[in-house]
Structure 1
């Protein structure tokens, strides 16, 4: 007798869409995963994050950082958004893996918007080595806690 496997992915619903969108809009930092062009190995770093005016996440990063070079070589990346709470099992807290394509954003045009979320960035925002990037969503993998897994499309993620 063959054992029937159950797909752990639930059908995407409005509650999942809302949770994913709120994780993106509330996030002020995330883990960024890129591919190191020298080794081909994954590399992860923590970045500041703000939702863009259109809901697409933005970050300000220096061209001196290794992850900026990795994004220039291969703009495919992922973000892990959502942090565990202060108490309880970290796996019970919602998180979103956002698979994305990193692209340059208009740093001058979005300055006021970015600084509204990160006023202290005023100290370095205009440094020439800093660029503003947006993470155009390709897909999302939402884990809303135990037994609450969803696959999301770009349309599901952006309001």
Structure 2
């Protein structure tokens, strides 16, 4: 059995669930590779979507994951929270395989994202313009949706954005 056999074809219900998980996420687990040791690591970061629907975050250059993403932009995001009751593994979650891309401060893309980000995360106004903070866009290569028992889907970027 190949790994593709484990996944159902993406359908409207899977796409809607994946987009809902992304739309409602205020944070995600970010998996990355540490540059000096090549060891995997995970952190939590604030998450939003840009106007096109791509996942984005605002992160400090002082954070270890920033240096790691600059050295190797291949990463993964996990979105979806367990519910208050029941087995956490029965709640839907979405893994996004991505490439991190930092936006150049002062570029039109940065300025557009800054305005959008502040409209949905107004508390970020406290630190958005600190010199060590940068926007990062996560370009999705694919997504793995676990919608609950027996509901596993492989999604393309067009299914998610």
Among candidates 106, 110, 117, match of residue 107 of structure 1: 110
| Unaligned runs of at least 5 residues, structure 2 | 104-108
What is the aligned length?
155
TM-score, normalised to structure 1's length? 0.93
| Unaligned runs of at least 5 residues, structure 1 | none
C-alpha deviation, 1:68, in angstroms: 0.3
In 2, Cα distance between the equivalents of 1:39 and 1:113? 36
More helix by share: 2
In 2, Cα distance between the equivalents of 1:123 and 1:157? 30
In 2, Cα distance between the equivalents of 1:90 and 1:29? 17
C-alpha deviation, 1:5, in angstroms: 9.0
Aligned CA RMSD, in angstroms, stands at 1.6
- What's 1:148 paired with? 151
In 2, Cα distance between the equivalents of 1:14 and 1:28? 24
In 2, Cα distance between the equivalents of 1:157 and 1:134? 14
C-alpha deviation, 1:109, in angstroms: 2.3
Is 1:35 aligned to residue 33 of structure 2? yes
TM-score, normalised to structure 2's length? 0.91
